């Protein structure tokens, strides 16, 4: 979110681009953009597409920066990159580093210790302005898909902008060199400023090429990897490019008249539609981002009519200009309290608290602008050529150091050992009524939550691809008396520690065939809000490969399977009709394995939790882990289709149903912590310790 406002005598903000004119309607457009984002973060269920406010900022930045640099190129024939970057540092870094430092302290004071490492990592990435790339990497990393939001998550868009500020002037410099070279070959007087009309053609063609390539890549990447595409810079460059092209093609002109007014109001309607009708299911930022981007361009260019019947007039009013003036700091301050306050209050935010957050963020933004932004931007301290860069290095290093300390503090704790490695009240044994363990949860295990929350899934390929990836556990192949397979999605992979222990005891080699969000079923699985069928197709192809492999591998005598079945809906595959895909898909799959000569063992799906990180909840409620418990009826919904299918198939003597429900729940509650052991490593997957502790109970059900 840039601020390239210029000063008209006495009444206007200080100019950053000499010779530019103040555009009050752009300040109003900034206000609209930041309020869309803030209201979306506060009330996401109401303003489902408010995230497009970020795209409005990108277009504005592209327009202002391009017009500023192009004007300098053509007027002076020089490119002041150091001066330009120095202005950006003075304008943006003081407030952002302040918010990051305050956020780091807030995490230390009020956030659960299990969130510290992720928070520190993102705070450091934000201080270095690479947060968007970190989030993109996490978005395609299954172990991070359900990470809680951190106080610095909103810095992803600021990271994109800072990368734009670094690269865009270099791109324009290259175009300036081409334009000058073109002039030198066609003119006997190559020196001096370029004529705007002569240079504009080169700049337009260059930016048009970059914009078209970025848009094409954005459409492609959004179609194959929407989670990552949302954050990476190449998918957003075309939005800056659209603003830059508008600046070059329109020059200093602003359009008015009836047609411009009608187009302006149509643009307002397009933005309103985007903000209210788009949602997390919208494939974004591909072709759907064109609507808010083009609407923003239309509002920037069609604001020449300063009358109440034109949108530019309304965007120029004092309230809109005030919010536009503080928009940068408002964006910085509004998010951290949304993340931190639920930890302080002990419950989700209510509407009254959200209103207070909005008002407090506006007040903090105004104070930051008056006390930090304006004095630094206008003052002399950082105007010496090298000082802004020294400040950027020192300030960034200081915030990164704070983040490192935040990571080091929990590492200094020695996790509290479980009450005993065995015993009648350790782990799942605490749920055996005859052991009379009280409380069932056992001793405080909150310090263990830190290490448990860092556990990674074992041998679990991602969404993409259909190749079979295998790992071996249990007894070594040379000594094994039996070879069994473990197949399914990430919930199946969570049973690896248990089967590893079981395999070592029984002399079995355990070979895993697991894949992220891909249950082993003949039906097609559908994930909520899945916007592409690429992952579904990859999963179905993987299951077909799995079945062919199991049929061909006669050394595998048994198959264990599990699934997070209540997380999906199911449909019949092409060319085949299943009466009840959720049930029949599993049963037909197991029938194929039995036909291939395999014994089949099916785990119940594990009880559902509150939907958030269990280790974090326990760290937050160390004195009362039951605050994280879920009533049995709610934790074991009838939508657990693999459990129902296993029960039916077991009654028909087709599979062995491994029911572990009594090792998670009593008649009233399903527990997040049992016998001093935390049950889950995140929101639904078994922790390694609890999975291992369940091995004797699996062994017991298998019998001799």
DSSP designation for 565: G
Is the model's pLDDT at 676 over the cut of 80?
A: yes
Is the model's pLDDT at 605 over the cut of 60?
A: yes
What's the pLDDT score for residue 387?
87
What's the pLDDT score for residue 11?
31
Is the model's pLDDT at 452 over the cut of 90?
A: no
φ and ψ of 674, to 5 deg:
-130, 125
Task: Tell which CATH classification among 3.40.50.150, 3.90.78.10, 3.40.50.1110, 1.10.10.10 matches the domain 430-702.
Answer: 3.40.50.1110
CA 130, CA 175: separation in Å to the nearest integer? 26
Helices (H), 225-252: 226-229, 237-250
Residue with tokens 């657990």: 640
> What is the three-class DSSP state of 462?
coil
Tell me the CA end-to-end span of the chain in Å, nearest whole number: 68
What's the pLDDT score for residue 677?
94
Do residues 232 and 133 touch, judged by C-beta distance below 8 A?
yes
Question: Mean pLDDT throughout 623-646?
Answer: 94
Higher local confidence (pLDDT), 528 or 580: 580
- What is the rounded average pLDDT for all residues in the chain? 88
CA 642, CA 655: separation in Å to the nearest integer? 12
Nearest to 678 by CA among 622, 631, 634: 622
DSSP designation for 622: T
Residue 232 CA, distance from chain mean position:
11
Residue span(s) of the chain under CATH 3.40.50.1110 come to: 430-702
201 to 77, 183, 300: CA distances (angstroms): 16, 12, 21
pLDDT-based confidence at residue 17 (cuts at 50, 70, 90): very low
Question: Mean pLDDT throughout 655-679?
Answer: 95
Determine if residue 436 is left, alpha or beta; phi over 0 gives left, psi from -120 to 50 gives alpha, anything else beta.
Answer: left
Nearest to 90 by CA among 2, 27, 172, 155: 2
CA 339, CA 343: separation in Å to the nearest integer? 8
**pLDDT tens digits along 60-92:** 999 999 999 988 887 877 778 888 999 899 999
**pLDDT tens digits along 564-599:** 999 999 999 888 889 999 999 999 999 999 999 999
> Percent helix, strand, coil in the chain (nearest 5)?
60, 5, 35
Give the dihedral of Cα atoms 694, 696, 700, 704; nearest 10 deg: 140
């Amino acid at each position: 979110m840039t601020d390239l406002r210029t000063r008209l005598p006495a009444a206007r903000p200080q100019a950053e681009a000499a010779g530019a004119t103040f555009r009050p309607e752009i300040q109003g457009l900034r206000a609209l953009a930041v309020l869309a984002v803030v209201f979306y973060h506060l009330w996401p269920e109401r303003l489902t597409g408010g995230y497009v406010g970020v795209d409005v900022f990108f277009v504005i930045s592209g327009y202002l920066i391009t017009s500023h640099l192009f004007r300098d190129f053509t007027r002076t024939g020089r490119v002041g990159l150091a001066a330009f970057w120095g202005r950006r540092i003075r304008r943006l870094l003081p407030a952002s580093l302040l918010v990051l430092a305050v956020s780091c302290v807030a995490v230390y004071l009020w956030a659960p210790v299990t969130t510290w490492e992720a928070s520190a990592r993102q705070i450091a990435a934000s201080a270095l302005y690479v947060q968007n790339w970190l989030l993109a990497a996490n978005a395609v990393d299954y172990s991070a898909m359900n990470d809680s939001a951190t106080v610095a998550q909103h810095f992803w868009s600021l990271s994109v902008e800072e990368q734009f500020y670094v690269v865009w002037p270099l791109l324009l410099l290259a175009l300036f060199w081409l334009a000058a070279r073109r002039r030198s070959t066609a003119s006997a007087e190559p020196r001096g400023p370029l004529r705007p009309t002569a240079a504009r053609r080169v700049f337009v063609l260059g930016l048009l090429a970059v914009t078209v390539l970025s848009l094409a890549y954005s459409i492609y990447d959004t179609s194959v990897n929407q989670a990552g595409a949302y954050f990476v810079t190449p998918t957003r460059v075309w939005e800056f490019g659209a603003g830059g092209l508008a600046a070059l093609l329109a020059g200093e002109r602003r359009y008015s008249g009836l047609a411009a007014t009608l187009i302006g109001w149509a643009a307002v309607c397009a933005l309103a539609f985007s903000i209210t009708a788009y949602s997390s299911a919208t494939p974004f930022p591909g072709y759907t981002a064109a609507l808010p981007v083009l609407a923003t361009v239309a509002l920037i260019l069609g604001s020449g009519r300063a009358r109440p019947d034109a949108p530019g007039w309304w965007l120029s009013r004092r309230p809109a200009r005030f919010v536009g003036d503080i928009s940068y700091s408002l964006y910085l301050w509004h998010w951290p309290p949304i993340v931190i306050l639920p930890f302080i209050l002990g419950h989700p935010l209510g509407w009254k608290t959200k209103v207070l957050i909005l008002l407090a963020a506006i007040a903090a933004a105004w104070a930051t602008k008056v006390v930090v932004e304006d004095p630094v931007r206008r003052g002399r301290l950082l105007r010496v050529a090298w000082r802004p860069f020294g400040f950027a290095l020192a300030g960034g290093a200081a915030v990164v150091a704070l983040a490192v300390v935040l990571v080091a503090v929990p590492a200094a704790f020695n996790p509290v050992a479980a009450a005993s490695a065995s015993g009648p009240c350790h782990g799942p044994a605490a749920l055996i009524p005859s052991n009379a363990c009280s409380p069932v949860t056992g001793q405080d295990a909150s310090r263990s939550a830190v290490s448990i929350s860092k556990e990674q899934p074992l041998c679990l390929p991602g969404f993409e691809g259909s190749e079979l990836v295998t790992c071996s556990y249990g007894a070594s192949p040379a000594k094994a008396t039996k070879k069994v397979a473990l197949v399914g999605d990430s919930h199946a992979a969570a049973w690896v520690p248990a089967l590893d222990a079981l395999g070592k005891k029984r002399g079995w080699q355990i070979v895993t065939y697991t894949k992220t969000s891909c249950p082993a079923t003949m039906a097609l699985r559908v994930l909520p809000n899945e916007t592409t069928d690429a992952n579904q197709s990859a999963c179905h192809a993987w299951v077909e490969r799995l079945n062919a492999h199991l049929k061909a591998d006669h050394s595998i005598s048994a198959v264990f399977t599990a699934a997070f079945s209540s997380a999906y809906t199911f449909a019949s595959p092409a060319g085949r009709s299943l009466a009840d895909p959720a049930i029949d898909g599993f049963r037909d799959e197991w029938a194929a394995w039995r036909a291939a000569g395999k014994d089949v063992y099916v785990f119940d799906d594990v009880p559902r939790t509150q939907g958030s990180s269990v280790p974090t909840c326990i760290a937050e409620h160390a004195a009362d882990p039951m605050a994280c418990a879920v009533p049995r009826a709610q934790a074991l919904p009838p939508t657990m289709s693999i459990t129902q299918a296993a029960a039916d198939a077991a009654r028909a003597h087709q599979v062995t149903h491994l029911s572990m429900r009594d090792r998670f729940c009593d008649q009233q509650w399903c527990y997040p912590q049992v016998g001093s052991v935390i049950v889950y490593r995140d929101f639904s997957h078994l922790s390694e310790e609890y999975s291992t502790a369940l091995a004797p109970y699996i062994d017991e059900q298998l019998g001799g």
